Amino acid sequence: MGLVGHQCWRDLLFLHWPVSREALRPLVPDTLEIDSFAGQAYVSLIPFAITESRAAGAPRVLATRFLETNLRTYVRAAGREPGIYFFSLEASSLLAVAAARLLFGLPYFPAVMAMRREGADIEYASRRRGARDAMVEVAWSIGEAIESAAAGTRDHFLIERYCLYVARGGRLYRGRVRHPPYPLRRVAVRHLVQTVVTAAGLSEPTTPPLCHYSPGVDVDIFWLERVASFPG
């Protein structure tokens, strides 16, 4: 399991909505089981900043920084460890988009993005290039520190995921990341308009999201490894 590179993820806002397995099933590869907590499946929209991204062995002076927003759901592969499946990932760096598509086969899209922070208040905006139906505008206020998500809780189910699954070239692959548990703080979302969920083929959420905020973690990223054959 070779190391690809290192990233610093900062100012992550997790927005989670319950969704039915039936709605997810046509959008997720058949070789992946839809994971759930207490029988409920979820999708999560996560805007954040990558303040440092560099290849393994590269000096920090060559690191890049950019914004990213991803939409994901929760899966397992043939009973293996829990992971995530991405419907889309937006990034403000064209280089990051090209590299992630080429090396990992992930559904990255270039986007025009902006983030502004004043004290505990953050405003974030993203619009996919060439697609008016995939945008996010969100503002939130950061509160006091709370304990990291405890194993066995819904928060842990939604936040602490350390591998992704991707269908590529007729096969299923797993990619791992390594980082400490997310430090968490209370958060109040003051404004939210988004169309990324419907752009993925899901219905517009009808309930307010469950929200988490983390100041961030430093992450090691590893190469994909083959899991199983992927039909079709």
pLDDT of 202 > 90? The answer is: yes
Contact 83, 161 (CB under 8 A): yes
pLDDT of 1 > 70? The answer is: no
Q: What is the mean pLDDT of residues 18-34?
A: 95
d(CA 106, CA 108): 6
For 133-192, how does the pLDDT look when each residue is reduced to its tens digit (9 = 90+)?
A: 799 999 999 999 999 999 999 999 999 999 999 998 888 999 999 999 999 999 999 999
pLDDT of the residue at 132:
67
Q: Where are the domains of the chain?
A: 3-229
d(CA 200, CA 95): 23
For 10-19, how does the pLDDT look when each residue is reduced to its tens digit (9 = 90+)?
A: 999 999 999 9
Pull the structure tokens for residue 75.
């899966």
pLDDT of the residue at 62:
85
What is each CA distance from 179 to 54, 79, 109, 203, 217, in whole angstroms? 16, 23, 25, 33, 7
pLDDT of 94 > 60? The answer is: yes
- The correct CATH number of 3-229 out of 2.40.400.10, 2.60.40.10, 1.20.1090.10, 3.40.50.2000 is 2.40.400.10
Q: What is the mean pLDDT of the chain?
A: 93
First-residue to last-residue Cα distance in the chain: 27
pLDDT of the residue at 230:
47
- SS3 per residue for 75-142: EEECCCCCEEEEEEEEECCHHHHHHHHHHHCCCEEEEEEEEEEECCEEEEEEEECCCCCCEEEEEEEE
Pull the structure tokens for residue 149.
């998500």
